[in-house]
Amino acid sequence: MNRFVERHRSILDFALSSLLRRKGKNISLWVVYTLIVFLIAAIVFYTHALKREAAMILQGAPDIVVQKMVAGRQDLVPVGYVGKIAAIRGVGAVRPRLWGYYYDAVTGANYTLMAPDGSLPGPGTADIGSGVARTLRVVEGDFLPIRAVDGVPTLFQVRKVLPYASELATSDLILLSEDDLRALFAFPRGFATDLAVTVENPAERATVAAKIAAQFPESRPILNSEILRTYDSIFDWRGGMMVVMLGVAVFSFVIFAWDKATGLSAEERREIGILKSVGWETGDVLLLKFWEGAAISLAAFLCGVILAYVQVFFFSASLFEPALKGWAVLYPRFKLVPDVDPYQLAVLFFLTVVPYTVATIIPSWRAATVDPDAAMRS
């Protein structure tokens, strides 16, 4: 056992010395490799953590949201539907939701205005999300101007800034009283934006949704599971930007590995020839090349993954912010809860370390099987 370990250690010593002889080339190789692993790992960690966060937070979303469709577009729902839907067996409660969007021409930000059920903000006051407070630079007690439908600005006193911790769900919210919201948008009485339906038994949600759709053919019931699925597909690896970013990263890795796999430099070929002529076996040469590949790829994998973890979970994935922000003026600041799927980590390992190490061995095997004299002269 000791002999076996000592043999590997000696070959590893030789491999590291060989790598250090071409210091510039190998350090740049390691840096590029680390960057590629970092990029792939950061995307994987970020999307996985966001999907998990969405699944955790949106468990509290309504069981079913009922919209009314007119000519393929969403329209206001008559509050009269409430009683009829509540009468369907299995329905626990039906609450009309009153909400809409407000574009603030001064800052260029879009806000979500909402009149929550119950007695949250009183008339003339508003509760705002942290993102709104940050964008408008207002604090509790300040006044918030909102232009009504007739163009007249109305002032609302900020009663409360919603907790920073909930920013991922409430960053752009402005909560007003029902009367204020109806007055601002000239919202007709007896109508709501949509209806939130609570179903007593989660297993009956689909059945209740089917009954609602049958009773109101112009309605569109959206199940809680569909809401969660939306976020699954947004951050799925097949999703738009993700597939582009992952594609670029994987493609650059393939070029990188291919370049390595397609050949050895004349110097490396000569080195193999000399080693064989002084008595090294083909197996020893392959072991040497394996350790050279493994040393670079293992170091790059570990450093890339650690950097990605720190970037995503300690620095809130600030590198991705410009891509995710797009044209939006208001962007939530949130910290993701660290969560890494071991399966994804294993896939990442086998997609990066193994192909690179194999790619290093194949050309060396070709060089190691030719005559040492020919290898030295080539």
Partner 1 sequence: MRKSTVFSLFTLGNAILLALLLLYGRYGSGEAGAVQEASRNLVRELQLTDLCLFTEARYTRHPSMADLHSAFQDHPMALEHFPSGSMVSPPRFRRGRP
Among 201, 215, 230, 378, contact with partner 1 (rule: CB under 8 A): 230
In the three-class reduction of DSSP (H, G, I as helix; E, B as strand; rest coil), residue 30 is classed as helix
Rounded distance between C-alpha atoms, residue 102 and residue 96, angstroms: 20
Residues numbered 259 to 288 that lie near partner 1 (CB under 8 A) are none
- Cα(304)–Cα(310) distance, rounded to whole angstroms? 10
Residue partners of 313: CB distance under 8 A and separation at least 6: 45, 49, 335, 336, 338
Of the residues 59, 201, 215, 378, which one makes contact with partner 1 according to CB under 8 A: 59
* CB contact at 8 A, 96 and 195: yes
**Applying CB under 8 A, does 293 fall inside the site for partner 1?**
no
Site for partner 1 in 301-330 (CB under 8 A): 302-303, 305-306, 309-310, 313, 324, 326-330
Residue 149 carries which DSSP code? Answer: T
Residues 6 or more apart from 297 whose CB is under 8 A from it?
Answer: 33, 352, 353, 356, 357
Q: Determine, following the binding rule CB under 8 A, whether residue 110 of this chain makes contact with partner 1.
A: yes
Question: Of 133 and 367, which has the nearer Cβ to partner 1?
Answer: 133
Interface with partner 1, residue 35, by CB under 8 A: no
Number of residues that bind partner 1 (CB under 8 A): 87
For partner 1, the binding residues in 136-175 under the rule CB under 8 A are 162-163, 165-173, 175
Interacting stretch for partner 1, rule CB under 8 A, among 83-91, 113-121, 177-185, 261-269?
Answer: 113-121
CB of 264 vs partner 1, minimal distance in Å: 22
- What are the CA-CA distances from residue 181 to residues 80, 116, 359 (Å)? 20, 10, 64
- Sites for partner 1 among residues 62-101 (CB under 8 A): 62, 65, 67, 72-74, 95, 97, 101
Strand partners, 195: 66, 96
Q: CA–CA separation, 224 vs 362, rounded Å?
A: 52
Q: Which is nearer to partner 1, 21 or 377 (CB)?
A: 21
* Least gap, CB of 189 to partner 1 (angstroms): 20
